[in-house]
Amino acid sequence: MGGPMKSKIYLILALMVVAITSLKAQTEKIDDLQNEVEIDLNSDTMTSTDGVNVRYGSLKLKAFEVKVDREKNRAYIPGEFYLEADEPTGKLRMDSLNGEFDTEGKTGSFGKSFGYLEVGQVTGAEKPNDRIYFGGNKTEYLNGKTYLRDAWFTTDPKILENRNPEEVGYHLQSDTIVIEPDKQVTFRNTNLFIGDTDVIPFSLPWYRFNIRQGSEVPLFPSWGNDDDYGWFITSGVLWGDKDSKFKGGIAPKFGDRIGLLIGRMENWYDFGTYGKGQLNINDWLIDKKADGNDVERNFNRWDFNYNHNYSGEYGFFNLNYKNATYNMIPTLDDAIDKYFYGPGNQGRPGNTWKYVDGIPDRGGSLGFYTLNTELTNLGEDKDISIKADVNLVSDKKVYGVIVADQLDDMDYGSSSDYDLTSDVSIKKENDRYSVGAYYNYLYDMDPGSTKQDLQSRAENFGFNFNDKVNKINISYDDKTGNKFRELNSWERDPNFSKLDNQGFYGIKFDYTPWTVEQYSIYDSKDLKTSLGEYHLYKDVFYKVGYDYTEFEHKLNLQNDPFRKTALFDGTTKTNNYRDLQYNRYENIIYNKTSENRAYVDFMYDSLKLTIAGGNTKEEIWDREGIYHYGDINNPWDRSAYRIYVNNSNFYEVGLSDEKLSLSRLGNLEVYGNVRFDQYDKGYDNLADKEISTDDSSTRYRAGFTHNVTIFDNSENKERKTDLSLLNRLTYMFQEYSYNSDSKITKDVRMAQKDNIQQVTDTVTFDLGNTETVYKVDYKEIKRASNDNKKGEILNQNLDFLIDDKNSFGLEYGSDKRFTDYNKKDENHNDLTFENYGANYRYANNYFYYKNRRIDSSIWEIENVNNAEEKIREDVYGYTYDFGKNKLNLEYIQGKDERDELGAKVINTKNKTYSVSYLVGGDVEHLYRASYEDYKNAGEWNPTLSRYNSDIVYLAYTYKDKRFTDAELVSYASSEYNKTPDQLSQVEIDRIRQVLEDRENSRARTFNLNRIIDDRTYFGDYKRGFHASLMMQRNDKRYEMTGDYLKSLEELEGRLFYSYNRIGLGYIYNQKSNYTNYGVSDEKKLDWRDSEREHEFSLNAKVGKPSEGWRTKAYVKFYDQLGGQGDNGRSTFDGFGVEIGKEFGYYEWAVAYERDYSYRTKDYEWSMAIQFKLLTFPTSNIFGLGATTDQNKKTTPDTYLFNGIKIDDLED
């Protein structure tokens, strides 16, 4: 009987006493149509023929008579009374006789009692075995403990039929059962009865089990056998009670092969309004027994977990820290076997994993940090707020091994994103001022794995201050990181994009990325200060400020593996090295610019005069017109770019009017600015050194924005329809003049300066409910050095917003680049981007079309062949939304054709057809199908076509998303390893999100135990089904054999099913490839099957609960078909099965497991007959079996409160 429940009993009794006292003002009986209650005011007695029901919170008490003795401070309940309460574990029910209590709640006693407690929510037991039953001839409560005298205990539900423990399957009979709330239950002098027969010739003098919620400390010796520990035994003690602010427990553990461990240690603390926390330690090896030759068992071993949780008036704070050795993290332990065992793995290029006598290290440790908090109203003035969302690890490289393994197991059609992040901010804001700071960190473990991965590294921080009274503002932002761009349809090929995608320790990440790094450095600093606004004269004000800006960009010059294969690895090699790169179109490969600027603004109404001065430092590495350099493997060779250094002191004057009224002609915003730069540094590329200069430039910039309403009849009350026409016109020009000295020329100094003219016009026409918007933006860019054209940009959009449900849009854009760098010094259009498209929405239908074109022309470049390349992409799409259902059809075609030296050196045509249909709602059906066709050819490298392939992907998912609160709590308890009352609402909501999410995204989570996974099915009554098939066919192999199945580079099938207590999973994967793609003679191509994998798992319960059969099994098979793998073996297989038969309240099971051991270099097996009570379905009571040891000897095993556990196949 738990402590909180006992306290509620006394509160109820106290309420009954108060009720009696309050009725002393009445001298009559209280009559009721349903019941009769008699109050005897002389004896302080309340009686009722049908009982009085009293409710307090979740506790209910029904008594027929209650009497209070005020002089003795005692309350009496003669005869029967019934107690019912909702405890954290489930419902508690107790029927008792003759209760007597101290009215202060310190002591009490019952007569004969019978009760039960529901525990299925915690143990996972099914009805009718989800309760424990107990009773006794006398129950006493003293000093916070409950004593059941002459007591019994059973889990056999047949006890409900007659309440006689001697007529059920079994019961424990004890002289005394001592219950210490939120701590432990102790049995003294206990006998085991089968029916009415005592089957043990002696009484067990003492037995104890743990009832502290969330505690895992065993309080009675338990033992078993384990591959790592050998034969082990453990037992422990608890300290503290239900009212202790600090409590915990410890259980030493001894394994005859490994040594002495702290098997479990727990420490709880409760700081009241400041939250609660817990520190747990599992299997901390403190004294090693294994000899020096047993490397594995001499590795360090521990698992520390710490958490602190707060939820209250200031918000919430959830902190968790886990530190464990590699061998205590299941996913990492498996991955070490996979990637580091065996001579092939140890010698793999890039593998820097630590080895001890040839054995990969498992004794290192890895820490995981998670923090999620949002606190407000902090501080003396309650004006401080803090937000944080942190997911970090202590060693990114080691965590990368886990990520690599999980990516390898991922379904073809799914995606994931393993990011390490830290987003922390603090803010203090009141009526007087606001001040804040932030820090953001990102490290993407699987860069490019989703289309949203546009950055893989980032570290940003900053602060801001705003004096609201004096108008003083200071802000600073410092951003470091990189930048990614999306791979285009003609670039992304599964047989090429993976080639350079290496992870940590030389492990190849098995996914085709969606994005690629564009800038390896993309940093900036930005300081802005405004030091207040002050009165100068009459309505004239001024403000003073200082700004500092800096940015540094460095282009990623990585080669595109496909382009290198097509243009450089064939019979003819291009001399255009630059065009092998992903980011070949960018001219500027490095740019670092900084500027200090102080200014004064004078303001009168909408007029503003600005006077400013400062200095600028600029270093730019430009490769315009350079496509060949000394070493193809060194794109940063000094011959690959020109350096420009522009350091200057400047001053500027600007004038603007933000609101100039033209009456009916509208409003005008105008501005003008003149800037003078005096240069003192430049760069001489011929001498390859920085030089001092004395030249100058003047920049003129001006523009205006004109807004006018040409027609608007909204004020005409007699109008038949709304009609209006508005126009917004913007114009800007910029021009440079230059004064040179003899040390540097205008061509060099002005090379990075542009003369610009830009005009933008937006016309908005409204007619009734229809709005038409036309926008055009034209920009002409000329070189400030010679006024030749450098670029021309045109963008146009026309949108018809017909009504709320119908719209139509057109778009067109072009971006032309021009260069003077050719042997004829002509202004040549070397690059053009063009796009156009249309979209139409009609009710729930949405149609769209997009076209992209890229034309590049390499013409008359020194030491480079002329080349023309044309890229085209067409996208056709249709989406139909109806309620929670959605249909999507899309076709994408990307083409790339390049001509060089009269040959078509690249001829790529990639196509993707995809369709998805979602039937949404509580019961969800998702159908997906796609066909991807990758076709490449090139006259310089005929082997390109040997990589050509197509991919067929089919998938269907059925998911019943109707989750009750009880189901969510059950799943959350399993995931977070907590009892239901320990779960926070955030954790329950997280489980709901994961279970409801169609993609089941694992973004930003540490998946260490593989509990939540796309492949996890609980085998419950809720139906779930997923089937997928992926086939990648090699075109050349199919051309040569005509056999589709024998031409597959990869075949992957997945099947998962869960319903009516049956969970089934199967994965098949086979990979094949040419071992010599580059061989000249096509007849000598060597096609081989490289590996084959089968994975099967089953978790089934058949028959009526408590009378059925239970089966749990897994089979795994891996065959390195091409010979020995990196771990030194060609085949691996594993098998595990447990078959159990339920007999009412208990189960007998046979378990067998056979797996390959890397330690013994052979297969090991274990087998046991196991017994468990169905009320505790995950815990064996005892078992008898046998196992093989490292010397291949078969020895008997015994288990007490332990046994062989067959885990779901998750490798």
At residue 736 the predicted structure's pLDDT band, cuts being 50, 70 and 90, is very high
Residue 957 vs residue 983, higher pLDDT: 957
List Cβ neighbours of 575 (8 Å cut-off, separation of 6 or more).
628, 863, 864, 865
Question: CA nearest 742: which of 689, 692, 677?
Answer: 692
Q: What is the DSSP string of 143-198?
A: TTEEEEEEEEEE--TTHHHH--GGGSS-EEEEEEEEEETTTEEEEEEEEEEETTEE
pLDDT digits (tens, 9 = 90+) for 1146-1187: 999 999 888 776 666 677 888 989 999 988 888 888 888 888
b/e sequence 101-114, b meaning 16+ C-beta within 10 Å = bbbebeebbbbebb
Q: Which pLDDT tens digit goes with each residue over 609-640?
A: 999 999 999 999 999 999 999 899 999 999 99
Q: What is the mean pLDDT of the chain?
A: 87
CA 406 to chain centroid? 13
Between residues 804 and 1122, the one the model is more confident about: 804
Q: For residue 974, what pLDDT is reported?
A: 60
- Amino acid of residue 228: D
Which of 713-722, 782-791, 1088-1097 tops mean pLDDT? 782-791
- Which helix (H) or strand (E) segment is 752 a member of? none
Instruction: Band the pLDDT of 159: cuts 50, 70, 90.
Output: very high
pLDDT in tens, 869-882: 999 999 999 999 98
Boundaries of every domain in the chain: 3-210, 221-271+279-296
CA dihedral (440, 441, 444, 449) in degrees, to 10, reads 10
Q: What is the pLDDT of residue 38?
A: 67
Q: Does pLDDT of 1021 surpass 70?
A: no
Radius of gyration for the chain, computed over Cα atoms and rounded to the nearest angstrom = 39
Span 32-37, mean pLDDT? 51
The pLDDT-based confidence of 40 (bands split at 50, 70, 90) is: low
Residues 6+ apart with CB under 8 A from 177: 134, 136, 147, 148, 151, 153, 185, 186, 187, 188
Q: What is the pLDDT of residue 41?
A: 58
Least confident of 42-56, 178-192, 662-676, 1033-1047: 42-56
The owner of tokens 């001006």 is: 702
Does position 245 have pLDDT exceeding 70, yes or no?
A: yes
CB 393 within 8 A of CB 369: yes
CA distances from 190 to 113, 198, 939 (A): 19, 10, 88
3-class DSSP state of 1048? strand
What pLDDT was estimated at residue 2?
43
Q: Mean pLDDT throughout 361-385?
A: 95
Residue 1105: cis peptide before it, omega within 30 degrees of 0:
no
The CA-based angle 951-955-959, given to 5 degrees, is 160
The yes-or-no verdict on residue 1015 having pLDDT over 50 is no
Percent of the chain predicted with pLDDT > 70 = 89
pLDDT-derived band at 39, boundaries 50, 70, 90:
low
| Residue 461 and residue 478 in contact, taking contact as beta carbons nearer than 8 Å | yes
Per-residue pLDDT tens digits for 5-29: 444 444 444 444 444 443 333 333 3
pLDDT tens-digit series, residues 1024-1075: 899 999 999 999 999 999 999 999 999 999 999 888 778 888 999 999 999 8
The residue assigned the tokens 């007699």 is 718
Say if CB 132 and CB 151 are below 8 A apart.
Answer: no
pLDDT at residue 506, as a whole number: 86
pLDDT of residue 769: 86
- For residue 544, pLDDT beyond 80: yes
What pLDDT score does 9 carry? 44
Give yes or no for residue 977 having a pLDDT over 90.
no
The answer on pLDDT for 501 being more than 80 is: no
Q: Residue ranges of the alpha helices (H) in 641-686?
A: none
Which pLDDT does position 563 carry in this prediction? Answer: 96
Name the more confident of 804 and 702: 702
For residue 994, what pLDDT is reported? 61
Per residue in 71-123, pLDDT tens? 888 888 888 888 887 766 667 788 889 888 787 767 888 889 898 888 777 67
Q: Which position has the higher pLDDT, 467 or 63? A: 467
Q: Is the pLDDT of residue 1127 over 80?
A: no
128 cis-preceded (ω within 30 degrees of 0): yes
Q: How many whole angstroms separate alpha carbon 593 and alpha carbon 854?
A: 30
Report which of residues 356 and 497 the model is more confident about.
Answer: 356
Summarize pLDDT for 565-619 with one digit per residue, the tens. Answer: 999 998 999 999 999 999 999 999 999 999 999 999 999 999 999 999 999 999 9
Out of 233-237, 741-745, 884-888, 917-921, which region has the weakest mean confidence (pLDDT)? 741-745
**pLDDT at 1038 (0 to 100):** 95
Q: Phi/psi at 300 (nearest 5 deg)? A: -60, 155
